[in-house]
Amino acid sequence: MFNKKLVSVVLVLVLLGGSLLYLTGDANAWWIFGDDKEEENKTYTIRAGIGLNDKSAQYKALEKWKQMVEKRSDGRIKMELYHSSQLGDDREMMEALQLGTQEVTCPSTAPIGEFVSEFKVFDLPFLFPNNETADYVLDSKIGQNLLKKLEDKGMIGLAYWENGFRHLTNSKRAVKTPADVKGLKARTMENPMHLAAWREMGANPTPMAFGELFSAMQQGVVDGQENPWGTIYLQNFYEVQDYVTNTGHVYSPFVLMISKKFYDKLPKDLQKMLKETAKEVKDYQRRINREMNAEYREKLKDKMNVTILSAEEKQPFKEAVQPVYDKYKDEIGADLVESVLQKVKEYQQK
């Protein structure tokens, strides 16, 4: 008699728990049985690392995000910020997110392509004609669906922030045509398409982590590199580079991302808050990044020999890199490339 009762109670409990899990799809749904208090009192530390220094728009935005997160979590989340590759380069930090040994990073999309191949689509040369088109495509379903693909690789994409249009600097000569690029030893990010684009232009490209770049230029290991105006100025690249040209050959998005291992352990309310605040800070980050790029482009005129090409003068560079589209279309996914190009066109016709 007693045993029967016990068995029924256990059965009811198991059924109740099962239905709760099924209905909520929430592995933390056991809170109903009592350990919610424990979770509410738990505190979490987020270590966020980037490659750029603490003067960058990227770091300023992280500071803003930290303030919001610490306030809105009522102190349950504490955020520590690390700049200048203190925690490693973009690839290493993404690997740390996968392992769960670091919580947050914000790499350019270029090295993400080695984790989720479809991300290469955004690094096709001369894909976006301006910032607004980039915003339109990245914030569309296409961009958001790509962020979701990071989950299978142990990372949660929170929002697209901005690195920006990249421009070529070098220590040898003023670059006005693709012929001037010939033979330049140029550092690129770790992405095969960036290498291919520079090879098509006749340069001699080599991939390298951002943290090693300044001394590589100083020692003449490379003649040049490419980055947005703000980075060229704020990282003092003008001290070791005499020439810059507004090639604007590729737009670099940043992806603010968090370790899935860490994220899955967080209570639902904190997960939601992190996603919401990352998106809120996105607009601020893009705005100050654009302001800073415009400001430092002017300031660089006192520091370097600045070549500003017109749209027509950029045309030969565009033509030189066209083969990259054909070479990488299948690797990225021909349908995806097509739909991104369509979306770009859609914005132009608005």
With H, G, I as helix, E, B as strand and everything else as coil, classify residue 165: strand
Interface positions, 240-259, toward ligand KDG (CB under 6 A): 252
Nearer to ligand KDG by C-beta: 35 or 239? 239
Q: Which residues of 2-19 are buried (b: 16+ CB within 10 A; e: fewer)?
A: eeeeeeeeeeeeeeeeee
- Residues 90, 118, 123, 162: which binds ligand KDG (CB under 6 A)? 90
Q: By C-beta, is 59 or 76 nearer to ligand KDG?
A: 59
Using the minimum distance from each CB to ligand KDG, give the nearer residue, 73 or 102.
102
Residue 265 in tokens? 């352990």
Residues 6+ positions from 139 with CB-CB distance below 8 Å: 160
Residue 254 beta carbon to ligand KDG: minimum distance, rounded to whole angstroms: 7
Q: Which 99-138 positions form the footprint of ligand KDG (CB under 6 A)?
A: 106-108
Cβ atoms of residues 126 and 246 within 8 Å = no
Shortest reach from residue 199's CB to ligand KDG, in Å: 18
User: Could you tell me whether strands 185-188 and 155-165 are parallel, antiparallel, or unpaired per DSSP bridges?
Assistant: unpaired
By CB under 6 A, residue 235 contacts ligand KDG: no
- Applying CB under 6 A, does 51 fall inside the site for ligand KDG? yes
Query: Taking CB under 6 A as the criterion, which residues in 162-181 touch ligand KDG?
Result: 163
Q: Name the residue nearer to ligand KDG (CB basis): 87 or 320.
A: 87
Partners of 186 in the β-ladder:
205, 224
Q: What is the dihedral of CA 32, 35, 41, 46, to 10 degrees?
A: -90
- Angle, vertex CA 90, rays to CA 87 and CA 95, nearest 5: 80
* Residues binding ligand KDG: number (CB under 6 A): 13
Residue selected from 227, 235, 285, 289 as contacting ligand KDG according to rule CB under 6 A: 227
Q: What is the contact surface with ligand KDG in residues (CB under 6 A)?
A: 50-52, 58, 90, 106-108, 163, 189, 210, 227, 252
